[in-house]
Amino acid sequence: MTLSCDQTFDSRVARNGTFTSPNYPDPYPANVHCSYHFNGQGKERVQILFTDFDLYRPDDTSRE
C-alpha cells in the first residue's frame, strides 16, 4: 500500500510559506509518494527557494 502526502499551495490563501518532505531530513518512509502543487493567479509567478535539496539515488542492487 502506498501512502500519499500531496500538498497544494495557493496564492489566494498565502503568499509565502515553507514546506518539507515527510521525515525530513531523513529519507521518506517506505511506500510514501509525495507531490507538491504551487498555484499562482493570473500573471503571478511562483518562486521556490531551496535551503537544502537532496535527490535519492538508488544503488545498482536496489529494486526501487
pLDDT in tens, 3-46: 778 999 999 999 999 988 888 888 878 888 889 999 999 999 98
Parallel/antiparallel/unpaired status of strands 36-39 and 7-10: parallel
- On whether the CB atoms of residues 31 and 1 are closer than 8 A, the answer is yes
- Number of domains within the chain: 1
Residue 49: pLDDT band (50, 70, 90) is very high
Does residue 45 form part of some domain? yes
Round to whole Å and give the CA distance between 56 and 54: 7
Does residue 1 form part of some domain? yes
- Closest to 55 in 3D by CA, of 21, 31, 8: 21
**What is the mean predicted confidence (pLDDT) over 42-60?**
83
For residue 16, the SS3 value is coil
Q: Give the per-residue pLDDT at 37.
A: 94
Does residue 34 form part of some domain? yes
**Assigned C-alpha cell, 3:** 501512502
